[in-house]
Amino acid sequence: MNNIPEIFGKLVFNETVMKERLPREIYKALKKTIREGASLDRHVADIIAAAMKDWAIEKGATHYTHWFQPMTGVTAEKHDSFITPASGGNVVMEFSGKELIKGEPDASSFPSGGLRATFEARGYTAWDPTSYVFIKDGTLCIPTAFCSYGGESLDKKTPLLRSIEAVSKQAVRILKLFGKTDVTRVVPTVGPEQEYFLIDKEVFENRKDLIYCGRTLFGAPAPKGQELEDHYFGKLKPRVSAYMKELDEELWKLGILAKTKHNEAAPAQHELAPIFTTVNIATDHNQLTMEMMKVVAERHGMVCLLHEKPFEGVNGSGKHNNWSLTTNTGENLFEPGKSPHDNAQFLVFLCAVMSAVHKHQDLLRISAASAGNDHRLGGHEAPPAIISMFLGEELAGVLESIKADSDYEASGKQTMKVGVNALPVFPKDSTDRNRTSPFAFTGNKFEFRMLGSSASIACSNIMLNTMVADELKAFADELEGKNDFLGAVHALVKRIITEHDAIIFDGNGYSEDWVKEAKRRGLLNLESTVDALPYYIRPENLELFKRHGVYNETEMHARYEILLDEYSKLVNIEALTMVDMVKKDYSPAITDIQKALCDAIIAKRAVSEDVPCNTEKKSLERIAKAADEITEVNTALDNALKNVPTGDALETAVYYRREIVSKMTKLRSLVDSVEAEGDRGYWPVPSYGDLIFSIK
């Protein structure tokens, strides 16, 4: 094992490197840009670029790229070498401030949702100095924003940066009312836990569905799944341990704070959790983490699956987005504190989140909406599609006492009045965790458990930052100028608790009773992506993002179109794969199974007409019936794919949800029933047992 402090960040142009390589005044100018968003003088940019180039070349880099996050959900990069022609047929290595700050990639093939016409190919990348430059595969990677020729955002980073500014601005207003005049900035921090599966590469390559779709479209359950609960936190297998060790080292070199690793609940499932960092950097790091997971797995003869539900019947994979707000002075705004004054501040920020989650349940649900996550939500420790908020018994009791002006029993009876009584000191885990809750308070942060494993965390945090910023703005507007400030805070907190306590639920999110209760409370139950996405462009949501400068209306409509289109395309690929596998793999195998049963019956009859063949006959009857149904449903699915409506993106997505997905579900059930019944020797693909227990 390398010395961790020595390798950590060795491929990152971080503050330590900046201090060593930049002149003092240049370093101060860059820090001002990072801290305040001030523009960089071209001369300053040239000096920074030269220092970056020299450092990168020393590390073996030959190229640079503007590394950005288009609306594909993955990263993109176009590599340019440092070489510039010199006299005598030679070259010199150069990199200018202009090249650092701005690039011009071809934007024509990225999703735009109508933001630009196909013939308008030009896009622009702009350096984001708040996220460190790093080296990957011999290339200097410059984190950048990505926009169209007309200036509209074509990426996930730009609106994320805007949302960070929005929540910071409003949070600072609130803190100044509490006398925190030294606070100039508030930054959302995130620690995204990442779940994933590892399977052997050889078995992966024999499954078309995994290759094309990232999940199994067919597969009867293995005799053993996760029911013994023996995999969770279990001893790491040698291949997995070696993989995790190398993955940690690769991430540490990139300055990624990989902290925790363990086996998850399902066989072949694992988790990696980082230490918290600012949301912009956390988003970049999570994209790099997912990429590196796949790269390192290949080196070990394995494949890393990041799909939300690669295997039916066992846990799917999520990404728990642990979100908090931290001041530039180091204060976590969701720490309850020990004095009444701190309690009042904590309760204001808690109520802002509570109100935001209740008002904007639709946006949180949309941020976790995808074709893959539709298969995961609502079972095997994944939260349901209904948004609710879990506070734990103690904190919920405090809020209830404030609402009712009643006694709260913690260490003796006291009537809770904001800013007068001190809250009890809550331990970090003041109550048992609720794994069925989509949005849980866990001591000094909120854990949004709904996000799917393959998703960028940008969207969820854009939503959280913006909707909380909106509540803080309303609170600041109400509280500024009040003579009896603490009295006004108490009235505000009591009102918010009263108006929005419907979002608080500490029970079993999987129960049918909760579905009925949620409906009674007026909470949304958006079961699928197609149900959720139309809420994205509701007038109040368009106005919300416009009000805080995070999205304009055009950008939101574009994202709505892109999300619908992505859903339809993913389902289309899966359906085409199913049709192909049935025609070319399963139907021939099922025919062979039927032939083998017929041959067995004939062989028995050849011995004697009196030899019983009931077992073979009954099996043949069941499989023959299923085979006919499989052909019928597969033909119907094939025909349905040829009649998909075009034009309106929502109409197309609804068609895929109602007509295509239902037929896919039926087809899978039929094929899986034959797999469970038929001779294993005839089956054309690795089974679930082969897959989830492939790593020895």
pLDDT for res 122 = 65
- Collapsing DSSP to helix, strand or coil, 115 comes out as coil
Domains and CATH numbers, the chain: 4-155 (3.10.20.70), 163-534 (3.30.590.10), 566-692 (1.20.120.1560)
Question: Cβ(171)–Cβ(186) under 8 Å?
Answer: yes
Residue 121: its pLDDT value, please? Answer: 57
Nearest CA-CA partner of 477 in 354, 361, 352: 352
Distance CA 540, CA 321 (A): 25
| E-only strand ranges, 99-257 | 102-103, 123-127, 133-136, 139-148, 186-200
Backbone angles phi, psi at 86, to 5 degrees: -130, 170
653 vs 659: CA distance, rounded Å: 10
Cα angle: 13, vertex 17, 21; to 5 degrees: 115
Nearest to 293 by CA among 156, 193, 191, 198: 198
Residue 43 CB burial class (10 angstroms; 0-12, 13-18, ≥19):
exposed
Q: What is the 3-state secondary structure (H, E, C) of 609-641?
A: CCCCCHHHHHHHHHHHHHHHHHHHHHHHHHHHH
- Helix ranges (DSSP H) in 378-527: 393-404, 458-479, 485-500, 512-521
Q: Which of 288, 270, 323, 258 is nearest to 459 (CA)?
A: 323
Mean pLDDT per 10-residue interval, the chain, length 696 residues: 86 95 93 78 92 96 94 89 89 91 76 63 82 96 87 90 97 96 96 97 97 97 87 92 97 96 94 96 97 98 97 94 96 82 87 98 97 86 88 84 76 58 56 71 92 96 98 97 92 95 91 93 96 97 98 95 96 98 97 92 79 82 95 98 94 97 97 90 94 94
CA 117 to chain centre: 29
3-state secondary structure (DSSP) of residue 547: helix
Position 207 scores a pLDDT of 97
Helix 553-581 and helix 614-641: axis angle, to 10°?
140
Separation CA 554–CA 556 (nearest Å) = 5
Strand 139-148, strand 123-127: pairing: antiparallel
| Cβ–Cβ < 8 Å for 534, 397 | no
The one-letter amino acid code at 39 reads S
Angle at 274 between CA 233 and CA 141, to 5 degrees: 135
Length of the chain: 696
In Å, how far from its chain's centre is CA 395?
A: 28
Helix H or strand E encompassing 341? helix 340-359
> Do residues 48 and 100 make contact, with C-beta atoms less than 8 angstroms apart?
yes
CA distance 70 to 48: 26
- Phi/psi for 226 (5° steps) reads -110, 10
Name the nearest CA neighbour of 667 among 640, 642, 644: 640
pTM given for the model: 0.93
